[in-house]
């Protein structure tokens, strides 16, 4: 009976050992599957990270390009502003020169007659009308008319 009990205990131990081995083998299979899934997730994550990294690189390059374009725009804007200011200065100088010319012309009484005669001739006045209005001799009015004659 002792032998039977020992045999039963030995068989029970073997069965228990087999059950433990089966459980361990099953857990190993589950662990292997989990490991494979984790590797798949890791690869996906690495691919996504790489993709995002490239996107960020592209964005950084575009930001640098935008920044340099903004600097160029600012530079051109400043140059345009300087040109506009210079144009305004030149326009003011031109107005001053025109005013000075008008003042000089008004100071010389004879120049007024010639300017008036040139204006009348340009408007199509006759020889006699110009002579009467400007008190100029006929020869001078004829000369002015020939000088101001429009080419046909």
Q: Is 150 left (phi over 0), alpha (psi -120 to 50) or beta?
A: beta
Give residue 115's domain range: 108-152
The reply to whether 97 and 119 lie within a common domain is: no
Looking at the fold, whether 69 and 113 belong to one and the same domain comes out as no
Residues in the chain: 152
Q: pLDDT per residue over 102-145, tens digit each?
A: 777 667 677 778 888 888 999 999 999 999 998 889 998 999 89
Tally of domains within the chain: 2
Residue 152 binned pLDDT confidence (cut-offs 50, 70, 90):
very low
* Together in a domain, 8 and 21: yes
User: How does the average pLDDT of the chain come out, rounded?
Assistant: 87
- pTM for the model stands at 0.38
- Are 47 and 59 in the same domain? yes
Nearest to 147 by CA among 121, 110, 112: 121
Residues 69 and 128 in one domain: no
Residues 129 and 81 grouped into a single domain: no
Work out the number of other CB atoms within 10 angstroms of the CB of residue 141. 23
């Amino acid at each position: 009976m002792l032998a039977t009990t020992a045999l039963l205990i030995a068989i029970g131990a073997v069965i228990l050992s087999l059950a433990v081995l089966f459980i361990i083998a099953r857990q190993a299979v589950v662990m292997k599957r989990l490991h494979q899934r984790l590797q798949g997730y890791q690869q996906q994550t690495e691919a996504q990270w790489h993709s995002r990294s490239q996107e960020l690189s592209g964005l950084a390059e575009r930001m640098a390009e935008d920044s340099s374009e903004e600097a160029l725009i600012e530079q051109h804007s400043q140059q345009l502003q300087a040109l506009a200011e210079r144009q305004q200065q030149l326009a003011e100088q031109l107005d001053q020169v025109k005013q000075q010319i008008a003042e000089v012309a008004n100071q010389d009484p004879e120049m007024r007659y010639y300017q008036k005669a040139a204006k009348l001739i340009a408007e199509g006045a006759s020889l006699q009308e110009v002579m009467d209005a400007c008190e100029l001799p006929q020869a001078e009015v004829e000369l002015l008319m020939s000088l101001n004659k429009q080419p046909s």
